């Protein structure tokens, strides 16, 4: 098996396991353990908190240890988490279910950071856009399918069968990772800094590099807006848009369709368009999406909302693939894990603030004001790109050395 084929198979299995666990957790907690909204919120928060808490130390370890070994550790965590979750459901232990959720999500964090850091050593620099697009396509497809499969299993068998599929995905990913060539640990110099010192070096590199700084700020503003949108979506859809739950879910599902189409066309856009076009288009099209949401209450609510969700999937997926390639090219291999971890931590740190701000503004000033906040934050994400050197990037950067 070719190294990239093995990594692609591992990506499909890992994201399938992660998304199945994500969709199965609330069903298991509610239908099997009888958890109420408060306890369910804590479980989901524990699962998502791993992305914020684990990223920085994981990035440092990725730059110290063989990356194939880190992938194996990540997938072993995911597999163990699925088994523990089934045991928790069988014995009625909510705390054990929460620990399984944290362990599984932590495994996904380590896997994602490691795979992004490993990819430049497996493919040529010119093949990075296409390879990143294929990895993101695998994630988008399983993200779209997992909630449906989890619901189907919960209805006809038991919610815990979702964890069985998650375990199967982790096993598939582990088999693929074992087919990867063994590699030495990335070089870290003669003096190895402490864990905190290693993390500081990665953060400092991001702050000093103009391209990485622009990418990070754009991602922060965009994620703030998107999670503010998610926070107000239900009251917007069921209130002013007058949608029933089925049409509400159908409108939101176009986001997944946008992700898939974006991943499919990304290799072609990488060949035919300069990076600056994609990097500006991704956040800019999100402004158009926000305008559709603003117009939805006075127009065809379903069509406008579905179009908005499609756009925030399509354009930002193109942007994600392009900026991931830029990150991989400008970052020296010994710093790759920490740089990716720094960017990821910034993104996941802003998400709960965006959701909180969207909900508070909607509660205090109304849904229209919250949508204006969302449009403004999408506009700021675009402005960051326009004012940064990313807007002058006519070709991909030369791969960094060192």
Q: Which of 14-23, 111-120, 235-244 has the highest mean pLDDT?
A: 111-120
- Rounded to the nearest 10°, the torsion over CA 136, 350, 215, 23 is 0
Q: What is the dihedral of CA 295, 221, 224, 270, to 10 degrees?
A: 80
Tell me: the pLDDT tens digits for 252-267?
778 888 999 999 999 9
Mean pLDDT lowest for which of 73-82, 227-236, 280-289, 374-383? 227-236
* CB neighbour list of residue 286: distance below 8 Å, 6 or more residues apart: 222, 225, 226, 311, 312, 315, 316, 378, 381, 382
Is pLDDT larger for residue 28 or for residue 133? 133
Domains contained in the chain, CATH given: 3-180 (1.20.1250.20), 205-392 (1.20.1250.20)
Is the pTM value of this prediction over 0.75? yes
Contact 137, 264 (CB under 8 A): yes
In contact, 327 and 343? CB cutoff 8 Å:
yes
Model confidence at 190: pLDDT above 90: no
């Amino acid at each position: 098996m070719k190294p990239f084929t093995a990594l692609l198979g591992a990506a499909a299995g890992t994201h399938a396991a992660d998304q199945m666990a994500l969709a199965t957790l609330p069903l298991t907690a509610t239908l099997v353990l009888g958890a109420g909204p408060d306890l369910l919120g804590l479980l989901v928060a524990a699962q998502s908190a791993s992305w914020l808490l684990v990223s920085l130390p994981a990035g440092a370890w990725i730059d110290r240890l063989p990356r194939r070994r880190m992938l194996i550790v990540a997938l072993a965590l995911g597999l163990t988490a699925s088994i523990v979750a089934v045991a928790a459901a069988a014995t009625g232990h909510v705390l054990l279910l929460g620990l399984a959720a944290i362990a599984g999500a932590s495994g996904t964090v380590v896997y994602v950071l490691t795979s992004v850091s490993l990819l430049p050593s497996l493919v040529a620099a010119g093949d990075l856009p296409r390879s990143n697009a294929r990895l993101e396509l695998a994630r988008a497809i399983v993200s779209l399918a997992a909630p449906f499969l989890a619901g189907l299993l919960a209805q006809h068998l038991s919610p815990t069968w979702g964890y069985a599929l998650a375990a199967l995905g982790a096993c598939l990913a582990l088999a693929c990772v074992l087919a990867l060539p063994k590699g030495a640990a990335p070089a870290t110099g003669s003096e190895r800094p402490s864990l905190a010192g290693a993390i500081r070096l990665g953060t400092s590199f991001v702050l000093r590099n103009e391209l990485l700084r622009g990418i990070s700020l754009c991602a922060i503003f965009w994620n703030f807006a998107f999670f503010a949108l998610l926070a107000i979506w239900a009251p917007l859809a069921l209130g002013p848009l007058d949608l029933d739950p089925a049409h509400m879910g159908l409108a939101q599902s176009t986001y997944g369709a946008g992700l898939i189409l974006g991943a499919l066309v990304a290799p072609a856009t990488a060949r035919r368009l300069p990076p600056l076009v994609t990097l500006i288009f991704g956040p800019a099209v999100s402004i158009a999406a926000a305008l559709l949401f603003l117009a939805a209450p006075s127009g065809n609510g379903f069509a406008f909302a579905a179009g908005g969700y499609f756009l925030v999937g399509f354009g930002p997926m193109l942007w994600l693939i392009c900026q991931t390639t830029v990150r991989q090219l400008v970052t020296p291999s010994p710093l790759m894990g920490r740089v990716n971890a720094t960017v990821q931590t910034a993104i996941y740190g802003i998400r709960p603030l965006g959701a909180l701000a969207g909900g508070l503004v909607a509660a205090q000033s109304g849904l229209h004001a919250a949508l204006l906040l969302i449009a403004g934050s999408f506009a700021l994400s675009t402005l960051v790109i326009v004012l940064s050197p990313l807007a002058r990037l006519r070709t991909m950067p030369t791969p960094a050395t060192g």
